Each structure stands twice: as C-alpha cells, then as structure tokens.
Chains A and B, each alone.
Chain A
Amino acid sequence: MSARTFIVGGRLICPATGRDEPGTLILAGPVVEAVEARTVGVPEGARVIDAAGCVVTPGFVDLHAHFCDPGEEHKEDLASGGRAAVRGGFTSVVVGAQTTPTNDTRAVTEMIVRRAASLSGCRVLPMGALTVGRGGRRLTEMFDLREAGAVCLGDGDLSVADAGLLRRALEYARAIGLPVFEHPEDRSLAGVGVMHEGVVSTRLGLNGVPAVAESAIVARDLTLCAATGARLHLGPISAAESVAAIRRAKADGLPVTCAVTAAHLHLTDEAVAAAYSPQLRSRPPFRAESDREALRQGLADGTIDAVTSGHRPQSPVEKELEFDLAEPGLAGLGSALGLTLRLVEEGGLPLMRALQALSTGPARVIGRVAAFTAGSPADVVVFDAGRRTRLSPGEALGRARNTPFLGQALPGEVRYTLVGGELRPAPAESAT
C-alpha cells in the first residue's frame, strides 16, 4: 500500500466540486484518496502537512508557458522553469511548440517528456506543433505527437495564416482528439507594431498592433471551428472584441475555450508610457483600459476558461534594448497566483472562480482532471492568502527576471506544492 499524506487544518477549496470548507485532504501515493470535513485521526506512519490558516486547492495548470528548452537554455530550461512553476503553485505546465528545433516530431516531444520527468518537478505537458516547423504549410504527424505525450496541437505563439490549411488541420485534429491552440494574431495586421495601437502609441510614437489583428483571427477561427466541429482554444487573448466574439460562440454551443494571462488582467498600455520599459513589451500587447475591463468581465462570467502565466523568459540580452528591438514577454510563473488573488482582493472576483481559472478550467481545456475527488491526481497547492510575496530575482521567477512586477508584493504565499503526492521542490532542495 502506498504512503498516505494527510493535509490538515486548511480550508479546502475544490472548484471541480464546489467544495469550500475546512477539512483534511488525504492522499494515497500519487492520487487523492478522500476529503474529510471532520477532524480525523492521523494513523501512525502517515505524513502530515500542516495547512493551518492556508487554502488547500488543486494544483494550478498553466496553458501558455515557454521553458525555452531545447533551444534557448540561456533564458530558461526544463529544470529552472519547473522550479519556478512549483514555487508559483503550478503542478502542470503546457510548454509551447516554439522550441528549437520545433516540437513538430515525435522525437522532440519524447525528448522533452523524458528530460522533464527527471528535471522539472512539475508535470510538463508539451504542445505539439500543428504545422511542420510552425511554417504554416504542411501538417505535422499528429497521431505520433499525441502518442509521444503532446496534450494539444498548435504553432506556439503563431496562428496559422493560411485559412485553408487551418481548416484541414482542425478537421484532422478531430481524429486525434486533441484541442488545437491558436495564438490569435494576424501578422499582416500586426505589422511592425510593438504595443497596443491607440492614444498611448500615438503619444509615444511607437508602431501599434491594432486590436483587429487579434479579433480578425478570432472571428475567422470561430467560423472554422463551427464549420469543422474541432476543439479550438484561443489564447492568450487581449482585446474586448475577442471576449465578445467568444462569448457569443460559446452561447452558440461551439467547442471553443480561451485563456488570458494574469498580467493582461492588470496592465494596460498606459504602463508602457511610463518609460518605454521593454519589460512591458508583450505579445499580445497590453491594451486599453476598456479591454482590460472586458477581460476581467469575461473571466468573471466564465467566457474565459483559464488564467495562464504567459511565462516567456528573456535574458537581459533580449531586454536591455530599445523598445522596438526588445523581445516581448514576461516571466509570469511567479506572479500568476498573486495577480489573480489581487483581483479577488480588489473585490470583483470570487475566490472559487479565481482558483477555478487556475486549475479546473485549464485542466478541462486539455482533457485533464484537477479535483479533490477520489482517484484524481494528487496535485495540490497549499497557500496562505493572508501573506504577501515580494517578487525578487531568484528561483520564484525561474532563470529570468524579466517582469515589470519585480519588487512588488503580491497577495498569497505558496507554502507547499505537491505533484503526484510528492512535495515539490523536494524538502531537501527547498532548504538550500
């Protein structure tokens, strides 16, 4: 019989079942055994985790992260990214197909899965490329990718430009049973833009990425989704028009899901105006106040299924540059929980809904289970919502430190992260 773990004294919140009450979570090896509302005796030999004063909830699932491995290990790798993930409460991370070489073959997927198993600490779930080399011309061997461990299919931070090819890809993916991930951005409309096109880009004299660069692709993709019946996931989204279109599509019963990064729920283009800081260059860009409000509304009403880290590490080589030349992206694993809890603190968002968007919601997108039900994976995060975490360079951020939230104290402090019933990082490791 496998080792049992008793997580005692905490407030158990399970968005999958709607449970929110004090109790004990009992894990049996890699799976959940039971949830007990009353105080239970801990049998001898069982491990006890004291969660007094903390929230105990299913581990978070990140749909949009990039560990840069293989290819750009100077920014992040499977080990450093995994450490940042579990310190941020993430137990499963979908890593994008934009590796070098592109994760478009069984061999690359297998290598990522194998290396991650020993290096990462969290579950690393690869996205298999939809088209060869993410080139948008030929379909990948999707059956192979699925068998090697891919949980979704997509061209990383690109959308498929050729609508005819995307249609075929969506049709073919139906047989695979995996969702197709599209990063909705029309490259010809985005042009040479580097920030949201609007009053602020006008003031700063920077080229803008109009909101239609996103919403045009969202509209096209939704049409193809309706035509093919394939499971489509759009994200990260940033524009109010996208939220509205997806809301309508969901009402029409389309099998579509979408996600937003935690940072997009807070930052707007006004932040860029402060000092042209390349830390605020992002794809999609941080948009106008009205867009941010629409994203928050979409999250609250369930139009948006998931909040992601949007983790995109960059080294100073890519960031200490002119705004136009800097690479976009921020290291988001360390701030996703804090930024989501900030929405709770600011009054708009129920805690249950916030946690759902971090765990159950994204898990469903990729056909996984995040729940405190018997037999579910023993992926758990224990955090103290009353304490704050100050973002400082180091492991909480992974190898990268490209975040505009550096130095800020965000709500929530992750105490324990368990992946498959095991503490991550392992206690000996975290002591260092």
Chain B
Amino acid sequence: MSTQRRHLLELAPLSAHEITELLDLAESFQDISQRRIKKVPALRGMTVVLLFLEASTRTRTSFELAAKRLSADTLSIAGGTSSVVKGETLLDTARNLAAMSPDIIVLRHKHSGAPHLLARSLDASIVNAGDGGHEHPTQGLLDALTIRQHKKRIAGLKVAIIGDIAHSRVARSGIAALSKLGADVWVCGPPTMMPPGVESLGCRATFDRTTAVRNADVVMMLRIQKERMTEELFPSDREYSQRYGLDSGVLALARPDALVMHPGPINRGVELAPEVADGPASIILDQVANGIAVRMAVLYHCAGGGGGEA
C-alpha cells in the first residue's frame, strides 16, 4: 500500500483528536531543539520546498529550521510580489518546482485557497504557511501548544482574540484549534472588522473590548495589517489603539494569571502597549520557540510519519 499524500491546508476540518495528536507530536520534537546536535535524520533524503510568494521572514525561517532539524534538504524561493506580476502563474511556478520532485511544498501566498489549488494539481504534499485571509494552520497549532504548556489544559479556558478578525488567517486557525479543544473563544473588534456569521467558526463575538477581556485566561492580540486593508475599516490608529488595543489597564480585567499572545510582528503602541508586550504575562517568545517544534511535527506528519492508524 502506498502512503496517501498528506496535506495540511487548514485546521477547520480536523477533529480535536487529530489536533491533539499533532500537538503531542510537536511536544515530542521540542527537546531536539535543546540538544547540542539539533538534528534528527527523520526526513533524510527528502526535499522540502519553501515557496513564499508573500514576504514573511519569521514563518519562512521557522519552517526552514524545522525542515533542517529533520535533515530534509530545503529549497527556499521567496518573492515579495505575486507570481502573476512576473508573468508566470502560481500553477506554472509550482509545476516547475514539482518537476524537481520535492516531497513537500510549503506555500505562503497572499490569496486564500492558493494551497488548495496546488494540492489539486501536484503530487507533492502541500503545507499551508498562510493563505490570504483564510488560515495559518501552523500558527493555530503553535498557539494552542503554547497555551497548553502554560495552562496544562485548553478546555474551559476563556480566550479572547482581538483585532481585525475579518482579514485574519491567524484568527481563523486559532478559533478552529482552540474551539475544538474546548476553549471558550471570544472574538472582538470593531464591526467593520467582524466578518458576517463569525460565530459559525466556533466562537462568540463582541464589539466591546471589556466584555472580551474580562476574566480571560488568554488574550491574543492580532496585528493590524494595514497592507491587507483595502477599505476604510477604522478612522485612525489613535482611536483603534484607545478602543481595541491592550494596555496594562485593560489587561487588569483578565484573570491575574492571564497570558498575552501575539503572532508578531507587533505594531507597538497600536494593538499592544510596550509594557504589556514586554510584561510578565507575555508569552510571545514562547510562541516563536514552539513554532519550530510544531512545524517539525507538521512536516514529519505530512511526510507520512507519526500517529495514524497502524
């Protein structure tokens, strides 16, 4: 029996069991990054292409380190511009890469559904490293793992996600992972940043920051992505910061042991006050560290290893 291709395109269709398995797998990879020799031969001889058609240094380097610590050969292709601008379609670019027989293609792309297009057309396993306003599954997993490690559980926790929910792939993946694992997820932002029917994703919604933060165990702030906003969604940074930003005064409404998270990079002083970003509640750097373990787990899983039936 040939192993079926495995992709990771989105978290929304995964079960709580599948998500937990990936988190457990990630946890077992964590110690590798603590060793002197930070490398295991699991993906030796495999080729992982990092196709980043939207600029993202941190996600790309995290995936690259993950692949290398599993001994895969990596090929990194970055382009700040859409491939169409260069006159070549995404599918043509990907087919050219596919001709070199990579085992896994990690795709970051500014349009939702681009990884699905590749998964339909190519033989390689496709890992979504963020597609437009859709999902960023490894971010959702690393957020869940970071929370689980700090709180020893996810079920029953109140998690507030604040920011531009409508255009956020981080929010979608986070809601999917955390709600399936039993968290009470709240999303919060001005109505212009709240997509219709957001509750159907598995969360509760409010326009009021206080409602979202009060008694929260985790407050996840989203980056205001000005580059993705094509419409007038809020009047000014000043008003946004005052009404939807997180400073120590607002954070005081949360539980005393509340955690503050942010997918980075931070707009300091806009969505997150410096004293909070650097404060004791912040676990932003743990998120970064966990990112490597999660991506190792995802690559290993997509290569055909770990978990599963047998």
Q: Chain A: residues with CB nearer than 8 A to chain B? A: 191-192, 197-199, 201-208, 275-276, 320-325
Closest to B113 in A: A276
B90 shortest CB reach to chain A, Å? 6
A323 touches B196 (CB 8 A): no
Give the contacts of B1-18 with A (CB-CB under 8 A).
12
B111 interface residue (CB < 8 Å to A): yes
User: Please, which residue of chain A has its CB at the minimum distance from the CB of B119?
Assistant: A275
Q: Does B34 contact A (CB under 8 A)?
A: no
Interface: B158 (CB within 8 A): no
Q: Does A322 contact B201, Cβ atoms closer than 8 Å?
A: no
| Chain B residues in 8 Å Cβ range of A201 | 195-196
B200 touches A205 (CB 8 A): no
Task: Tell me if A325 and B112 are in contact (CB < 8 A).
Answer: no
How many residue pairs between the two chains, A and B, have CB atoms under 8 Å in the bound complex?
75
Closest chain B residue to A206 by CB distance? B112
What are 5 A-B interface contacts by the 8 Å CB criterion? A199-B200, A202-B196, A203-B172, A203-B201, A208-B196
Instruction: Decide if B135 is an interface residue (CB 8 Å cutoff).
Output: yes
Q: In the complex, are the beta carbons of A324 and B196 less than 8 A apart?
A: no
Whether B91 lies near A320 (C-beta < 8 A) is yes
Decide: A192 and B230 in contact? CB cutoff 8 A. Answer: yes
Q: Nearest Cβ in chain B — how far from A315, in angstroms?
A: 13
Contacts A191-B230, A320-B91; is A202 near B197 (CB within 8 Å)? yes
**Residue pair B111, A204 in contact (C-beta under 8 Å):** no
**B residues less than 8 Å from A199 (CB atoms):** 196-197, 200
Residues on B with beta carbons closer than 8 Å to the beta carbon of A191:
230-231
A275 to B134, CA, bound (A): 13
A192 proximity list for chain B (CB < 8 A)? 230-231
- Residue in B117, B167, B195, B196 whose beta carbon sits within 8 Å of that of A322 in the complex: B117
Q: Taking beta carbons and an 8 Å cutoff, which residues of B are in contact with A? A: 12, 82, 84, 89-91, 109, 111-114, 116-117, 120, 131-135, 166-167, 169, 172, 195-198, 200-201, 230-231
- Pairs A-B, 3 closest by C-beta atoms: A276-B113, A205-B134, A199-B197
Q: Are B134 and A202 in contact (CB under 8 A)?
A: no
Chain A: CB-nearest residue to B84: A325
Assess whether A322 is in contact with B200, with CB atoms less than 8 Å apart: no
Main secondary structure of the interface of B (DSSP, over half): loop
Q: Which residues of A contact B172 (CB under 8 A)?
A: 203, 205
Assembly CA distance A199 to B205 (angstroms): 14
Task: Please determine whether A323 and B91 come into contact, CB atoms closer than 8 angstroms.
Answer: no
The docked-state distance in angstroms from the alpha carbon of A197 to that of B112 is: 15
Among B116, B201, B230, the residue within 8 A (CB) of A202 is: B201
Residues of B within 8 A of A197 (CB): 196
Query: Separation in Å of the A277 CB from the closest CB of chain B?
Result: 8
A56 to B113, CA, bound (A): 45
Contact A276 B197 (CB under 8 A): no
B197 touches A205 (CB 8 A): no
**Known pairs A275-B113, A325-B111. 20 more at Cβ < 8 A?**
A191-B230, A197-B196, A199-B197, A202-B166, A202-B198, A204-B112, A205-B131, A205-B169, A206-B112, A206-B133, A206-B134, A207-B133, A208-B196, A320-B89, A321-B84, A321-B117, A322-B90, A322-B111, A323-B111, A323-B112
**B114, A198: Cβ atoms closer than 8 Å:** no
Closest chain-A Cβ to B150's Cβ sits at a distance in Å of 28
Distance in angstroms from B167 CB to nearest chain A CB is 8
In the complex, how many angstroms separate the beta carbon of B9 from the nearest chain A beta carbon?
10
- Asked if B114 and A322 sit within 8 Å, CB to CB, the answer is yes
A202–B133 Cα distance when bound, in Å, is 9
Within the assembled complex, what's the spacing in Å between the Cα atoms of A203 and B11? 11
Of the candidates B91, B116, B169, the one having the most CB atoms from chain A within 10 angstroms of its own CB is: B116
Flag if A324 contacts B111 (CB, 8 Å): yes
Whether B91 lies near A205 (C-beta < 8 A) is no
Q: Which residues of B contact A275 (CB under 8 A)?
A: 113, 116, 120
B136 to chain A: closest CB distance in Å? 10
A206 to B90, CA, bound (A): 18
Min CB–CB distance A295 → chain B (angstroms): 20
A205: B residues at CB distance < 8 A: 112, 131-135, 167, 169, 172
Q: Given the complex, which residues of B lie within 8 Å of A208, measured CB to CB? A: 195-196
Residues of B within 8 A of A207 (CB): 133, 230
B132 contacts A276, C-beta separation under 8 Å: no
Say yes or no: A202 contacts B200, CB within 8 Å.
Answer: yes
* Given contacts A320-B89, A320-B91, A322-B117, A202 and B195 within 8 Å (CB-CB): yes
User: Which B residues lie within 8 Å of A320 (CB)?
Assistant: 89, 91
> Which residues on A sit within 8 Å (CB–CB) of B167?
205
Q: Report the Cα distance A367→B134, complex, angstroms.
A: 47
Tell me whether B12 and A203 are in contact (CB under 8 A).
Answer: yes
Q: In the bound complex, do residue B120 and residue A203 qualify as a contact, i.e. CB atoms below 8 Å apart?
A: no
* Chain A, Cβ-Cβ closest to B194: A202
Complex interface: chain A residues within 8 A of B131 (CB): 205
A400 to B43, CA, bound (A): 44
Judge whether B109 and A322 touch: CB under 8 Å. Answer: yes
With both beta carbons as reference points, the residue of chain A lying nearest to B195 in the complex is identified as A202
> Chain A residues near B112 (CB, 8 Å)?
204-206, 276, 322-324
A196 nearest in chain B by CB position: B196
Q: Least Cβ distance of B140 to chain A in Å?
A: 13
For B90, list chain A residues within 8 Å (CB): 321-322
In the bound complex, do residue A276 and residue B116 qualify as a contact, i.e. CB atoms below 8 Å apart?
A: yes
A276 x B169 contact (CB < 8 A) = no
Distance between Cα atoms of A208 and B114 in the complex (Å): 17
Q: How many angstroms from the CA of A321 to the CA of B231 in the assembled complex? A: 24
Interchain CB contact under 8 A, B195 and A321: no
Measured between beta carbons, the chain A residues less than 8 angstroms from B195 are: 201-202, 208
A201 to B89, CA, bound (A): 24
Known A198-B196, A202-B200: A321·B89 in contact at CB below 8 Å: yes
What separation, in Å, do the CA atoms of A306 and B225 have in the docked complex? 44
Min distance, Cβ B265 to any Cβ of chain A, angstroms:
20
For B91, list chain A residues within 8 Å (CB): 320-321
- Nearest CB in chain A: distance from B224 CB, A: 17
Could you say which of A199, A204, A206 has the most chain B C-beta atoms within 10 Å of its C-beta?
A204
> Is A276's CB under 8 angstroms from B117's CB?
yes
| Least distance between A328 CB and chain B CB atoms (Å) | 15
Cβ of B42 to closest chain A Cβ, rounded Å: 31
**Assembled-state Cα–Cα distance A388/B148 (Å):** 56
Residue of B135, B172, B196, B201 with most chain A CB atoms under a 10 A cut-off: B196
